[in-house]
Amino acid sequence: MHRFNPEADIKPVWKAYAVPYENKNTVLGALQYIQEKIDPSLAFRYGCRYRRCGLCAVEINGKPAMACYTYAEDGLRVGPLSGLHLIRDLVVDRKSFFEELKKYSLYLEPSDGHNARGTPVMEPEQGARLRSCLECLSCISRCPNRSSGEGFGVPLIYVRLAQLHFDPRDRKDRLAQAKLLGIDRCRNCNKCFCPNGIAIIKDAIKPLLGG
């Protein structure tokens, strides 16, 4: 388990915990056991407890995953999402990112009934996947361009833009907006990852690149 207390630690450390095995126990269940029975100082986030809120996203064996529906097993290494500001233990800073999102007009801008831009056709499965975004920030932690400076759109922004791009009620040119945010840098990257099953390249990046 990744442990870090900024008030006492110079750098993060890894600490092992023994948790009783229960059939189909989740990583979140194991974290709760550690906090309740072993070490109440362990800091982590969770909300709905099953695939609704995105708050329990962590890295399990170096790969983003949702703690609430990932089964626990022997030898797992559980750490915070990498590439994001670490607050404590498994808790990363979400607030500053969502404050940043306010700049990008990622909300429906209704037309006056005459949607001149037209609306592309979205397959039902594609739409369901895009709408399944939990805003867990896992995709951002895997993005090699996330530190490209102000103005670069990270994968979550492109998922939100794609949702709006396919919405017939929205009047704004989301392809032009994506281009301004540097989506061309994503053209040959293929490193996006979503633990909730969104095919970010296929469902969001490629449509916003115009094909």
Return the pLDDT at 24.
87
Provide the CATH topology of domain 1-93.
Answer: Ubiquitin-like (UB roll) (3.10.20)
DSSP H/E element including 31? helix 27-33
Return the pLDDT at 32.
97
Strand 63-66 to strand 78-79: parallel, antiparallel, or no bridges (unpaired)?
unpaired
If 0-12 CB within 10 Å is exposed, 13-18 middle and 19+ buried, where does residue 69 land? Answer: middle
Return the pLDDT at 82.
92
Contacts of 99 (CB under 8 A, 6+ apart): none
CA torsion 205→46→27→60, rounded to 10°? 40
Class of domain 95-208: mainly alpha
**pLDDT of the chain along its 211 residues, tens only?**
999 999 999 999 999 999 998 888 999 999 999 999 999 999 999 999 888 999 999 999 999 999 999 999 999 999 999 989 999 999 999 998 899 888 888 988 886 655 556 778 888 888 889 999 999 999 999 888 776 555 567 899 999 999 999 998 898 999 999 999 999 989 888 888 999 999 999 999 999 998 6
Domain with CATH 3.10.20.30 in the chain: 1-93
Domain with CATH 1.10.1060.10 in the chain: 95-208
Return the pLDDT at 142.
86
Return the pLDDT at 111.
67
Return the pLDDT at 150.
53
Return the pLDDT at 88.
97
> Kindly report the CA angle at 71 between 70 and 76, in degrees rounded to 5?
90
